[in-house]
Amino acid sequence: MNGLYKGVVATTKSWAVGIPIGIVIRAAASGHLPNYGFVLVSLGSTAVLLITFRALLYAILPVDNSKKSDDYRRGSPFELFELLTSLVRRW
């Protein structure tokens, strides 16, 4: 994603999906629903921290367009497995 606005929007979308799922998983693991105060504080604090961090990251670090070439995407999907098997054979 390019740009500050797109980065913040992507972070907000992932936060809106991920954090409630995490709270549901926590409720299922603990066997009871968490306190509403906990839910509100966790939603608010993670939203502020994640979105602020992403906005600062996009504002401070420059966008490097030289890494956008397709040279890094030409490999086969099995290259990871080939690498792992060659490492295991050497070990």
pLDDT at 68: 59
pLDDT at 47: 92
CA distances from 60 to 2, 54, 64, 68, 76 (A): 14, 10, 12, 19, 34
Tens place of pLDDT per residue across the chain (91 aa) = 567 888 888 889 999 999 889 889 989 999 998 899 988 998 999 999 999 998 888 888 866 666 555 555 666 778 888 888 888 887 6
Contact partners, residue 27, CB within 8 Å, separation at least 6: 33, 34
Amino acid at 34: P
Global confidence as pTM: 0.58
pLDDT at 66: 60
CA distances from 38 to 2, 33, 44 (A): 34, 10, 10
Token pair 């954090």: residue: 19
